[in-house]
Amino acid sequence: MGKLWVLGILVFTSLSFAEIRVAFFRCFDSQGKLVEFVPGGQFCHVAIGYRGGWLHAHPVYGVEWKQGLEEIKVAKYGLTLLRKSALSLSEKQVNPWLGVPYDPTFRWDTERATYCSKLVGKFLNITPKIMTFETPYWKNFKNLPENELGISPDAIYSELVRRGYDTY
């Protein structure tokens, strides 16, 4: 019994507790109207806090780390959700993703490419959902994974609110 208790303390103390921050971004068309990726949605991009900065999947540069939200130029910053006393991301989790190319096909099962919400969803163990591409934004896209597993920034947002994350 004593050995098990000591092992539990060693495992617990090796974990890094701090906070998880997730930033959400909005896109607007040339007339200033919000672009919806999903019906009724409000977000088009998502990033996750890591080491005082932000990790995200850029459509050109792939997975990259940025010091500040203003450096993420793919969309307009909207809001951040925060969960205190959550497990922080570790180097062991993050390093394999750095430099991974962006996946413009939005396939959940693609191993060596990713998109923003897939990256965050994998880090936070969020279950993917069946995707539909019903809004006008997607009308000129070809070969989308319609009715396949994936995740949108709005689905990430909804799940984190359900888990009790607070607006920061």
Sequence length of the chain is 168
Query: C-alpha distances in angstroms, 2 versus 5, 11, 12, 15?
Result: 5, 15, 16, 21
Going from N- to C-terminal start, the domains of the chain cover 16-167
Give the CATH class of 16-167. Answer: alpha beta
* pLDDT tens digits, one per residue of 127-162: 999 999 999 999 999 989 999 999 999 999 999 999
Please give the pLDDT value at position 88.
84
Helix, strand, coil shares of the chain, percent, nearest 5, are 25, 30, 45
* pLDDT tens digits, one per residue of 61-111: 999 999 999 999 999 999 999 998 777 899 999 999 999 999 999 999 998
Please give the pLDDT value at position 16.
52
Between 44 and 14, name the one with better pLDDT.
44
| Total-model pTM | 0.87
> What's the pLDDT band for 8 if we cut at 50, 70, 90?
very low
Share of the chain above pLDDT 90, in %: 83
Q: What is the C-alpha separation between 132 and 43, in angstroms, rounded? A: 16
